[in-house]
Amino acid sequence: MWRRLYTAVIMAALSFILARLWWRGRREPFYRRRISERFGHYRDMPSGRPLIWLHAVSVGEARACAELVRGLGTAHPGFDLLLTCMTAAGREALRGLHGESVQIAWLPYDYPGAVRRFLEHFRPRLAVLVETEIWPNLVAACGEHGVPVLLANARMSEKSALGYRRWRRLARPAIAALTVVCAQSEEDAARLRALGARRIEVTGNVKFDSAPDKAKRAKGKAWRERLGRPVLLLASTREGEEKVLLDALPAWDEKLLVLVVPRHPRRFDEVSALSQSRRSVDPLPAANHRVHLGDTMGEMDFYYAAADVAVIGGSFVPLGGQNLIEACAAGVPVVLGPSMFNFAEAARLALEAGAAVQAADAAGAIREALRLLANSAEMERMGAAGKRLCETHRGATQKHLELCDELLRAAGPG
């Protein structure tokens, strides 16, 4: 009954959903392409080979699961790989990471007919949903079609768990229908178990397995050497954060360059008003430029290699922070804001390891960043601690691959 009510609500919201999709297409035109896929109608025909399907909703999940996708391709060369997403930036990230080695499509909206058409078109042997993509009709349809579902790199903050508990009559059956849940931590596992998950394996965080791209790192280091100035990176910033962080800076010493990389491409033009140059136009900022906008996609490894200290965005507004593991892997000292609930375990580990410091607000974060920039020995210690942290916690991807293999073998030849 609750799923039928949920379906009625999202059906009633269809006009709003389409209007929002078209509106977002003003800045990101790919939102207006292949709209039929969002309702389960696909042009590209399957090859006839068995298929593994993995869903990464947007850019963060696409980057997080990159090693898992490559591992699946290596371990199962006889299978096609289908990757789905929901955002234009996510689709671009998937293509940049994997090229033509995979199929890429929109995941349909969670309408019963759309998800049924999707499953009947592609006929996946295994579904891998990344982090918290639990859609009631989609999961139910997978069960009806005999498709095992693995929830990969699963996280469940206390805030998110509260929301699921409020809608437990809808959420609990969906969570209980997941074949296997790969939780990032014991805390995530406990919350997911309380919400109804049946089989949970604590595998760790696959983001620790992502190695920085060597070519992009080399370019970033060369860029920093040509620049010849200290670089403070404001990484993956969200709306409103850039201004409060920049306003917290003291008078310019005519040396420091602040490199700002917004989380979402649609905000590049908005944030350019706060900068004197942008990478897509001015590859190297002039000597009198204080703020430089990083407005290119797929270059976070470049930006981290170019940085001396990184302030992690999404943590100065109540959004739970962004991925700090990339900075740690690059050996860059990390400064966090107060809101890190989406990366609670990684933040705790980084703070305990001495790879990160945390501030109560934007002003405190800027003070910490400037203090570190003035202390090269501490920056070196923190950078080394971040690399050790990532090395210590690698291995989650292999555990995921073993569970995927188990599910595929249990499913049989199909």
- Residues with Cβ < 8 Å from 364, sequence gap 6 or more? none
Whether 334 and 233 have beta carbons less than 8 Å apart is answered as no
- Find the catalytic residue in 61, 67, 326, 345: 61
Q: Tell which residue, 312, 386, 390, has the closest CA to residue 353.
A: 386
Q: Look up 61 and say whether it is catalytic.
A: yes
- Residues with Cβ < 8 Å from 135, sequence gap 6 or more? 110, 115, 174
402: its two tokens: 């073993």
Instruction: Tally Cβ neighbours within 10 Å of residue 414.
Output: 12
Q: Tell which residue, 121, 113, 49, has the closest CA to residue 84.
A: 121
Buried/exposed 339-358: b ≥16 CB within 10 Å, e otherwise:
bbbbbbbbbebbbebbbbbb
Q: Which residues pair with 127 in a beta bridge?
A: 53, 149
Distances in Å between the Cα of 163 and the Cα atoms of 15, 156, 170, 289, 402 are 25, 10, 11, 45, 31
Residues with catalytic roles:
61
